[in-house]
Structures are given as structure tokens and as C-alpha cells.
Amino acid sequence: ADPAAAGPHYQHRPSATADPVNEVWLDFRTDEDGDGRAEALHDWNFREGGARSVIIHDRQGGAGERAACFTVPFRPGGQA
């Protein structure tokens, strides 16, 4: 599979800078058992047809290499 096929990062304001306010960043933290958790809250919703997938990068805080990706049927209003 080609990780780049998932498309570019979704941005609330297209062509603005990449940051956790304009994009959805989930910086996972794990405990000693490897269980992880992440949360991102925004006061905006996805535009129709804008968000198509979730990308997991191999580094926290910024876009490192793509480690995994999967398609998500996002709907306007933030519903997945």
C-alpha cells in the first residue's frame, strides 16, 4: 500500500500553517502496559468531502513518516 494515497492533511483553514489548532493531531501517550489514549477537541467541524482518512505518524508533534493509515467515512458536523 502507498501511504501517500491517503491524501494530504485535512486543514480547517486550507493552506494555513500545519498546527494542532488547524489540524486534528492525536499525540498518543502509552502506559507501562502499552495502552494508549489521545484526544483532540475543536470548535469546528469537517467540511463535506474534506476528511477521508486517519494517518498515524511515527513521531509525536509534527508529521514524521507515515506509519499507518485507514479510511474513515467522515460526515459533516464531526460525525464519523
* 3-class DSSP assignment, residue 66: strand
Domain ranges of the chain: 1-80
What is the C-alpha to C-alpha distance for residues 50 and 62, in angstroms, rounded to an integer? 20
pLDDT tens across 29-74, in order?
889 999 999 888 999 988 887 888 888 877 766 667 888 888 888 7
Average pLDDT rounded to a whole number, residues 16-22: 82
pTM for this predicted structure: 0.69
pLDDT of res. 62: 63
